[in-house]
């Protein structure tokens, strides 16, 4: 049973606008959440993370929001750029050894 879900398989956004990628989880024990970005024919690369003791973490154009009561996190990209076109995976962990990933959202940023 998928403990981390990304319900939108794909998303298209105009360049310069905001991209919002969503992720839901079921296990309330998860205490650390991560976003990874994946280009075709490459391995995923780390993007941004957030601890469960925070509700927001920002790194440049990327911001992750965590709503623990709703078991929901989102990744905001502002402004979106064509180079952001990739598949984005959210992931969660309790132990820092076992990780649960979502199904991924394919983001296309249209120039």
Partner 1 sequence: EAQVTQNPRYLITVTGKKLTVTCSQNMNHEYMSWYRQDPGLGLRQIYYSMNVEVTDKGDVPEGYKVSRKEKRNFPLILESPSPNQTSLYFCASSPLAGVPTDTQYFGPGTRLTVL
Q: Which residues pair with 44 in a beta bridge?
A: none
Continuous segment of H or E residues that includes residue 101: strand 99-101
Stretch that binds partner 1, among 11-19, 40-48, 54-62, 64-72 (CB under 8 A): 40-48
How far is 23 from 98, CA to CA, in rounded Å?
18
Stretch that binds partner 1, among 12-20, 61-69, 76-84, 90-98 (CB under 8 A): 90-98
**19, 21, 25, 44: which one binds partner 1 (CB under 8 A):** 44
Say whether residue 42 binds partner 1 (CB under 8 A): yes
Say whether residue 24 binds partner 1 (CB under 8 A): no
Count of helix runs (H) and strand runs (E) in the chain = 0, 11
Mapping DSSP to helix (H, G, I), strand (E, B) and coil, where does residue 69 land?
Answer: coil
The rounded Cα 6 to chain-centroid distance in angstroms is 9
Cβ closest to partner 1, residue 89 vs residue 107: 89
**Contact in structure between 61 and 74 (CB atoms under 8 Å):** no
Stretch that binds partner 1, among 14-22, 64-72, 75-83, 87-95 (CB under 8 A): 87-95
Provide the binding-site residues for partner 1, judged by CB under 8 A.
Answer: 2, 4, 6, 31-32, 34, 36, 41-46, 49, 51, 89, 91, 93, 95-104
């Amino acid at each position: 049973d998928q403990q981390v879900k990304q319900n939108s398989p794909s998303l298209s956004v105009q360049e310069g606008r905001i991209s919002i990628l969503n992720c839901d989880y079921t296990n309330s024990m998860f205490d650390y959440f991560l976003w990874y970005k994946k280009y075709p024919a490459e391995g995923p690369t780390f993007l941004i993370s957030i601890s469960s003791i925070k509700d927001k973490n920002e790194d440049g154009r990327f911001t992750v929001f965590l709503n623990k009561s709703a078991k929901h996190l989102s990744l905001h990209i502002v402004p979106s750029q064509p180079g952001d076109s990739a598949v984005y995976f959210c992931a969660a962990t309790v132990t820092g050894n076992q990780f649960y990933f979502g199904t991924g959202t394919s983001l296309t940023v249209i120039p």
